[in-house]
Chains A and B, each alone.
Chain A
Amino acid sequence: MMTKQIGDTLIRTVDLVKEFEISGGDFFGRNKPRVHATSNVNIQINKGETYALVGESGCGKSTLGRLMLKLIEPTSGHVEFEGININELPSEEMREIRKKMQIIFQDPYASLNPRMNVYDIIAEPLVTHHVCKTKDETKERVKELMERVGIRPEFINRYPHQFSGGQRQRIGIARALALQPQLIICDEPVSALDVSIQSQILNLLHDLQEEFNLTYLFISHDLSVVRYISDRVCVMFLGKVCEIGNTEDIFGNPLHPYTKFLIDAVPKPDPFLRKENKQLLHGDIPSPVNPPTGCRFHTRCPYAKDICSEIEPEMKNVDNKQVACHLI
């Protein structure tokens, strides 16, 4: 593995809370139930690293990604990009910041406008920010990007439906790269792809990071992929951060019980590692509308004590890691 240039903090969240109102409540629309998507999340991502957000459905990882891009506004708290609070920026200045952060989506079928051809899709960021002076220059740049992500430049006039899933994901990556951003938020970029295509995209992302010194926020539910691509991992459960640490530490010596179970639950592609009595996590993921009191994991945690259901655990620094658990 090459050594990456990890620098200072690029983006961080400060007590980020996002609650969505959902339908329900009384006749006048008061007291609507709220989905607690993220609760007091504090994370920071350094320049040049790949920071992974892991968790199961409803843990708030995708919401967090969108909050960091300011695609949605937080209920409270804020996001700082290079020390600037982007939630207080006027929209013109925000447009400048948008150049520096981009997103790659999970579903390569929904993330490309079916009525635009490849040129229009990849050129959109260039045109929006007036990066190139002439149309020819734009076209050259688009072709360059296509070549870089592994799409034949002669396909420039084709429409998304004429490509396979993997190729569409490459187009999405080219669009994200167009403005030479610093941060790319990858929201489950490979989970909709076939295994053989998945590895192509992962390697591409990896190469691009080296080439352009990109910072990734890698959102995924697939722990094997996270282990492969990330430098640091943040494990989330029901809108709360459970554990943050370097990838090797998290996978080698997980402290939070949830992290342990999560890693253990992944089916290993090696029959010789089968365990007869695998310890399974019982029960379902609680609803984010009524999250459990205290530690949100306590309803499923086999080690839970009384304190876990009463008091919310604080983030503690243990062995190079940050953990939120009373038992540590």
Chain B
Amino acid sequence: MDELLRINNLKTHFFTKKGVVPAVDGVSISVPQSSVIGVVGESGCGKSMTAMSIMQLVQKPGRIIDGSIELEGEDLLKYSGDNMRNIRGNKISMIFQEPMTALNPVYTVGRQVTEAIRIHHHDIDKEEAKKMALDIFNAVGIPEPDRRFNSYPHQLSGGLRQRVMIGMAMVCNPRLMIADEPTTALDVTIEAQILFLMKKLQEERGTSILLITHNLGVVAEICDYVYVMYAGKVMEQANTFELFKNTSHQYTEGLMKSIPKITAEKERLYNIKGVVPNLMKLPKGCRFCPRCEKAMPRCFMEEPPLYKVKTVVENAGEHYARCFLCESSEVMNDD
């Protein structure tokens, strides 16, 4: 598969008065054309900051200090100001957890969508833009698009708002859509609708989706390939099926065992001990070792690289895990 987006050794650090917070600390992610890539992790693992870094929306005191972000071979980090604005919304778009914060409450959703179109395509007149907006409203399954076109964001339900957001993100046919916890604020039945919609749009339009979530269920449901992040680093990466079948990192394993499953019989839940570490005081070795059941003295001394893991699922592509227990001859080279 062709590569659409390639993030190499990205480092986004926050320089606060109390110290440096390495929110993203050497992350490499690859997004192939027309695929759904999941980034999963708990709060503070750096998943949202990775997304913000791609959009170059990192707020002060944060700064991208190293690495490259290549979209179809062009390094986005070399772009600035106007050039980047042209990429945002046009080639890469983003949707957020709470659509209300991303929509302007004083304009109708129709106006906001048409403006989004006209920002990137100056040659399109208002009538045409409106037609495009109504088309996209139809495509994202908004009932009565004509009426909704003139609604204000607060008049819509959470699910409809998220549909509007997705419509706005898709209207310029971006190559990549970054979805940051798109369904976390929604009810279960609405969540299922939105996930289904995203998958459908991805298949129909060939847009790639970078899905950022804390929910392994969502990952299992629609992602092709998954990156598991912890404390600013990728801990494990694999094809979704491979990841669930051949879980190799202790953290991923702990996460999977600690979620209650609606399908399974009742049994005592597994606990990952301790708490998510403070990023300002990370352990010297493996970042997960203080909470890891199988930690060895070595884990406290040196940090493991991403080792290649032998896959068990066919055609699963490459599987890496940052754990000495998976030690093998092959190490991801750009780490």
A in complex with B? yes
Which residues of A come within 8 Å of B, CB atoms?
A: 1, 56-57, 164, 166-167, 194-200, 202-203, 206, 221, 223-225, 227-229, 251, 261-274, 278, 280-285
Q: B181 in the interface, Cβ–Cβ < 8 Å?
A: no
B130 interfacial contact with A, CB 8 Å: no
CA distance A283 to B193 in the complex (A): 9
Closest CB of chain B to A318's CB: distance in Å? 22
Contact with A along B201-238 (1 / 0, CB 8 A): 00000000000001111111100000000000000000
- The stretch from B58-66, B264-272, B321-329 touching chain A is B264-272
Q: Is B295 an interface residue (CB 8 A)?
A: no
Q: Which of B189, B220, B240 has a CB less than 8 Å from the CB of A268? A: B220
Q: Which 4 A-B pairs have the closest CB atoms?
A: A267-B217, A228-B260, A199-B258, A56-B187
27 contacts between A and B (CB under 8 A): A195-B255, A196-B42, A196-B272, A198-B258, A202-B260, A203-B269, A224-B261, A224-B262, A227-B262, A251-B262, A261-B189, A265-B188, A265-B189, A265-B191, A266-B192, A266-B217, A268-B220, A268-B261, A268-B262, A269-B217, A269-B244, A269-B261, A271-B220, A273-B263, A280-B192, A280-B196, A284-B190
Q: Which of B158, B193, B218 contacts A281 (CB 8 A)?
A: B193
Given contacts A166-B275, A269-B261, A280-B193, contact A56 B188 (CB under 8 A): yes
Instruction: Give A284's nearest chain B residue, CB to CB.
Output: B157
Q: Is the CB of B192 within 8 A of A284?
A: no
Are the CB atoms of B275 and A223 closer together than 8 Å?
no
Task: Tell me whether B214 and A199 are in contact (CB under 8 A).
Answer: no
| Other A-B pairs, 13, CB within 8 Å; known A196-B271, A266-B217 | A194-B42, A196-B258, A199-B260, A202-B260, A224-B262, A225-B260, A227-B260, A263-B262, A266-B188, A267-B215, A271-B244, A284-B160, A284-B190
Given A224-B261, A280-B192, A285-B157, are A196 and B255 neighbors across the interface (CB < 8 Å)? yes
Chain A residues, CB < 8 A from B187: 56-57, 221, 285
Is B195 close to A, CB under 8 A? yes
Contacts of B100 in A (CB 8 A): none
Does B159 interact with chain A (Cβ within 8 Å)?
Answer: yes
Beta-carbon contact of A284 and B270 below 8 Å: no
Q: For residue B220, which residues in chain A have a CB less than 8 angstroms away from its CB?
A: 267-271, 273-274
Closest B residue to A267 by beta carbon equals B217
A204 and chain B: residue at smallest CB distance = B271
Q: If the complex has contacts A194-B214, A203-B269, are A269 and B256 also in contact, measured as CB distance less than 8 A? A: yes
Bound: A167/B219 CA distance, A: 28
Find out whether the CB atom of A267 lies under 8 angstroms from the CB atom of B196.
no
